[in-house]
C-alpha cells in the first residue's frame, strides 16, 4: 500500500475479529517502530506486547472498554525519559520520539491489513502495576492490534488545510 493511501484510509479501529495476528506480521510492525528516528538516535523506547488473555483482562484496570481487550494483541509504547534527549532549555522529547515510532507501527500495521487505535486515556499507574513497569519508565500510548471487524471510509472530520497552514509567518 502506498504511503499516502495508508495515511488517507487508516482509521481508528474499535472492533476486532477473534483471530490471532501472525507472528511475522507482528514482527514487521515492531520492526517499523524499531526503525524510527529519534532525537540524537537515543531510541528511548520499549514496546510491550500483550496477547495473554489473563494479562489483557488485568489491563482493563487501566482502560475499561471491552473492544480494547477483545483485540488479539495490545501494544504498550513506553518511554525512558532518563535515557532520552533533552534540549538545552530543558524541553523533553521522549513523547515525540515514542509518538514517531508508534505512528510508524500504526501505518505499517494498516498496510498489513491490521487495525489499531491510539489510546491515551489509560490509567498509567494501573497499567504500570499490572505490567511491572519500573517507576522511571513512562507509558506514552497503547494500541490494540488485530484484524478489523468494522469497515470505515476515509477520514472526513479534519480541519481544512487553510485553517492549519500558514505561509512564511504566523
Rule CB under 8 A: which of 101-140 touch a second copy? 102-104, 107-108, 110-111, 118, 120-121, 123-124, 130-134, 137, 140
Tell me the window of 16-24, 34-42, 61-69, 145-153 that interacts with a second copy (CB under 8 A): 34-42
Cell numbers given for 109: 500495521
* Cα–chain center distance at 67: 16
DSSP, res 65: -
Q: Binding to a second copy (CB under 8 A): which residues in 75-104?
A: 85, 87-89, 91, 93, 95-96, 98-100, 102-104
Q: What is the DSSP track for 36-88? A: ---GGG---EEEEEE--HHHHHHHTTT---HHHHHSSEEEEEEE-GGGS-B-T
Nearer to a second copy (CB atom), residue 16 or residue 78? 78
Q: Which is nearer to a second copy, 11 or 17 (CB)?
A: 11
* Residue 46 binds a second copy, judged by CB under 8 A: yes
3-state secondary structure of 16: strand
Shortest separation between residue 67's beta carbon and a second copy, angstroms: 16
Amino acid at each position: 500500500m502506498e504511503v499516502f493511501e495508508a495515511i488517507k484510509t487508516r482509521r481508528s479501529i474499535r472492533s476486532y475479529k477473534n483471530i490471532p495476528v501472525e507472528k511475522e506480521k507482528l514482527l514487521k510492525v515492531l520492526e517499523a517502530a524499531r526503525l524510527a528516528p529519534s532525537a540524537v538516535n537515543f531510541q528511548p523506547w520499549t514496546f510491550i506486547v500483550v496477547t495473554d488473555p489473563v494479562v489483557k483482562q488485568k489491563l482493563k484496570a487501566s482502560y475499561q472498554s471491552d473492544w480494547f481487550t477483545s483485540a488479539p494483541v495490545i501494544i504498550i509504547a513506553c518511554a525512558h525519559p532518563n535515557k532520552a534527549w533533552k534540549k538545552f532549555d530543558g524541553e523533553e522529547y521522549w513523547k515525540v520520539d515514542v509518538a514517531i515510532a508508534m505512528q510508524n507501527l500504526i501505518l505499517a500495521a494498516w498496510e498489513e491489513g491490521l487495525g489499531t487505535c491510539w489510546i491515551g486515556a489509560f490509567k498509567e499507574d494501573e497499567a504500570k502495576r499490572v505490567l511491572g513497569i519500573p517507576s522511571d519508565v513512562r507509558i506514552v500510548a497503547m494500541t490494540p492490534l488485530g484484524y478489523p471487524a468494522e469497515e470505515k471510509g476515509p477520514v472526513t472530520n479534519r480541519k481544512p488545510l487553510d485553517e492549519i497552514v500558514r505561509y512564511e509567518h504566523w
